[in-house]
Structure formats: C-alpha cells, structure tokens
C-alpha cells in the first residue's frame, strides 16, 4: 500500500476537519444552492413587495428559511406572464389571480383554444385582490357606464387586470370599442391621470396599493363603484369573483366603495419536488414569516394559514397539500 506524503496527509486531515465542522453545524457538505424564482407583477403594485417579503422569508438565511434555498422576487407583467413563465420553466413559481389560474388549467376563458396548463399547481391562496376603477375627479365618472367615450387604461397585455377589465366592461354593456383604451401599468396610468391625459384606469390588487395611494395624496381621485344588478349577473356567470368593499379612508378622501374581487394565489409546477415545496410551505407559515408579513405590508396581515386553501379552483401541489393536511386546515 502506498503511504501519503507528509503534505498530503496534512491536507487530508484538514479536509476531514472541515467536513466534520460542517456536519456539526448541520450544513450539507458542498451543498448546491436551490434557486426559486417568484414571478410577481409591476413594481408599483402589491405582488412585487409581497413577493419580496416571501422570498426573504423562505430563503435559507442563517437559521431561518429553507436550508440552501435562494428565493428571488421578479418583476413581471403579472398573472398571465407568470403562468406562462411557470409553464416554460422560466420561473419556478409566480403569483396569479385565481381566475387566470383556473382558465389556464382548464383551457377556458382567456386560454380558450390554447393548450391546457395541466401541470399548474397551487402553493397557497394569499389574499383577496380587489378590482379598483380609479377616476380623476375632473372626469365626472360616477359609474362603469360613464366610461363610454372616456380615456381608460386597462393594464398591459398579458396581465390579469386586462382580462377582468374586459369582463367588467361587458357586464355593463361596454367593450373596448366604446372607450378610448390605453394599455398601461398603474404607475404610468396614474402619471397620465395626474397630468389630465387619462380619465380612468383599472387595477386589480390588494388595497392599499402604492401607486393609487400616492395619486390620492398628491392630486385626489375617485373610486368608481362596481355594483348593482350588472354585478349580480356577473357573479352568477363567473364563480371566481366575489363581492368586496374598499373601506373608507383606505385612500385619502375616498369613502367606502363597493366592488368585486378575485383571490391572489401563489402557483408553481407539478414538476417541482414535493419535499422542496413542503419545506417552503412549512417555512411560509412559521412564526418568523408571520412576523415579517405582518410588519412588511398592509396586505401581509391578510395572508393567513386559515385562508391558504380557500377558493383553490385548481389542485394544490402535493408538497403543499401534505403540509396543509398535517396542519389541520385541509381534510
């Protein structure tokens, strides 16, 4: 048998010592980081800051998070872009409105005539997403019907907001031909509204949202109610919508406003490993994540384990389902 030279023996002993030290601290030797991207939305909306909070909570930072996991929040065009990104493998997960997720999974609605995204799975239902119809005070817009002939931003192509804006318009007997449509995110739309170049814009997201709060404080806004018999008919046709209200004072000088909402959901692919998703969900609902969500954003307080399996519409990821059954929130 060939013996080690002195230098090689010292190096071998040193390597063993490093390995033992890593094992003693519970760290995997030569562990490869697992990257987990979260598609969100525009930086002025609610998805992006919530995605940042969740990414930070689940990343393996020190003694918190999932060991070896590096999660990042990506700014995107929203729900449809995130579903497409998950399907193509461009991202491991993303946020979506529950209506868009349902349409993608079933090949209906927005995805009519397109292949079903059958691998789409839910990690968690997060919070209600409220449909905001924001108008300038000078526009005189008091109802959805008043949008006829007005300059209205419907959000960018590929966003869930654009889809829902079209549904709302149709419920009141309007289409894009009846308005002067523009396709802008809420940030740029707010700028144009402030400058008098736009009369109204749609936004679907948790309240309060930064772009609308800033606009209300700087130049004043009106929130247009989405209510009445038209909504009753709409709710009967589209089960993923629910009645909602924006409380008085949510935005400066704006009273309580009746509207409708969908759910914000965190989606992934069935191809993601069951154990990884289980670990992510377990961390998402621990005490440290709870504190971060509560302190980090007004909508964070509405993200609860109790509501995590509400209004699913499509299947849970098996890893998530396992945790929710263990936690007693899913039978």
CATH of the domain at 203: 3.40.190.10
Last residue of a domain, one of 231, 263, 295: 263
Answer whether residue 16 is part of any domain.
no
Strands 120-135 and 257-269: antiparallel
Q: Where does the chain have alpha helices with state H?
A: 6-24, 47-58, 79-88, 98-106, 160-171, 186-194, 210-218, 229-237, 274-284, 287-296, 318-327
- Do both 136 and 227 map to the same domain? yes
Query: Number of H helices and number of E strands within the chain?
Result: 11, 10
Domain that holds residue 290: 34-127+264-327
Q: Does residue 238 sit in the same domain as residue 252?
A: yes
Distance between CA 319 and CA 236 in Å, rounded?
A: 33
In a domain, 155, yes or no: yes
Same domain, 244 and 323: no
pLDDT for 128 equals 87
Task: Tell me if residue 226 falls in helix, strand or coil.
Answer: coil
With 60 as the cut, is the pLDDT of residue 19 above it? no
Q: How many domains does the chain have?
A: 2
Pairing of strands 222-223, 257-269: unpaired
- Decide: residue 194, CB within 10 A, 0-12 exposed, 13-18 middle, 19+ buried: middle
Residue 65 shares a structural domain with residue 106: yes
In a domain, residue 91? The reply is yes
Least confident stretch, 140-149, 202-211, 259-268, 270-279? 202-211
Q: Residue 276 above 50 pLDDT? A: yes
Which residue bears the tokens 């065009």?
A: 77
Angstrom distance (rounded) from CA 331 to CA 321: 10
Rounded to 5 degrees, φ, ψ at 187 are -60, -60
Rounded CA-CA distance 112/115 in Å is 8
Q: Looking at the structure, do residues 255 and 315 belong to the same domain, yes or no?
A: no
Residues 251 and 310 in one domain: no
Domain co-membership, 123 together with 268: yes
Q: How far is CA 204 from CA 89, 135, 176, 261, in A?
A: 26, 14, 18, 8
Q: pLDDT-based confidence at 163, cuts 50/70/90?
A: confident
Query: Do 173 and 156 lie in a common domain?
Result: yes
User: Are 242 and 93 found together in one domain?
Assistant: no
Position 283 in a domain: yes
123/217 same-domain check: no
Compare 45 and 24 and report the one with higher pLDDT: 45
pLDDT at 16 over 80: no
166-176 pLDDT tens trace: 999 999 999 99
Q: Which of 263, 294, 311 is the last residue in one of the domains?
A: 263
Neighbours of 169 (CB within 10 A): 23
User: Does the pLDDT at position 297 exceed 60?
Assistant: yes
What pTM does this model have? 0.71
Whether 61 and 80 share a structural domain? yes
Asked if residue 312 is part of any domain, the answer here is yes
Quickly tell me which residue has 């529950």 as its tokens. Answer: 98
Please check whether residues 142 and 248 belong to one and the same domain: yes
């Amino acid at each position: 048998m060939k013996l080690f030279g002195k230098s090689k023996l010292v190096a071998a002993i040193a390597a063993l010592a490093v390995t033992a030290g890593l094992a003693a601290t519970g760290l995997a030797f030569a562990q490869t980081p697992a990257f987990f991207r979260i598609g969100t939305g525009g930086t002025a909306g609610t998805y992006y800051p919530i995605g940042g909070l969740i990414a930070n909570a689940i990343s393996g930072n020190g003694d918190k998070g999932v060991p070896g996991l590096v999660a990042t929040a990506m700014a995107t065009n929203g729900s449809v872009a995130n579903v497409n990104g998950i399907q193509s493998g461009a991202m491991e997960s993303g946020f979506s409105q529950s209506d868009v997720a349902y349409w993608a999974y079933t090949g209906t609605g927005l995805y009519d005539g397109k292949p079903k995204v059958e691998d789409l799975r839910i990690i968690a239902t997060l919070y209600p997403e409220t449909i905001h119809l924001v108008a300038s005070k000078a526009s005189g817009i008091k109802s959805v019907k008043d949008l006829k002939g007005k300059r209205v931003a419907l959000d960018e192509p590929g966003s869930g907001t654009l889809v829902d804006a079209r549904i709302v318009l149709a419920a009141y007997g309007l289409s894009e031909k009846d308005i002067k449509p523009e396709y802008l995110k809420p940030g740029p739309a707010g700028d144009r509204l402030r400058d008098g170049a736009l009369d109204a814009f749609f936004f679907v997201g948790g309240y309060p949202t930064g772009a609308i709060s800033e606009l209300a404080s700087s130049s004043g806004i009106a929130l247009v109610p989405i209510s009445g018999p038209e909504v009753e008919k709409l709710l009967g046709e589209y089960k993923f919508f629910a009645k909602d209200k924006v409380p008085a004072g949510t935005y400066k000088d704006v009273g309580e406003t009746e509207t409708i909402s969908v759910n914000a959901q965190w989606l992934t692919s069935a191809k993601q490993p069951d154990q990884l998703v289980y670990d992510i969900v377990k961390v998402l609902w621990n005490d440290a994540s709870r504190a971060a969500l509560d302190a980090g954003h007004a909508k964070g307080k509405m993200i609860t384990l109790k509501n995590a399996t509400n209004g699913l519409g499509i299947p849970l990821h098996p890893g998530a389902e396992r945790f929710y059954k263990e936690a007693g929130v899913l039978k």
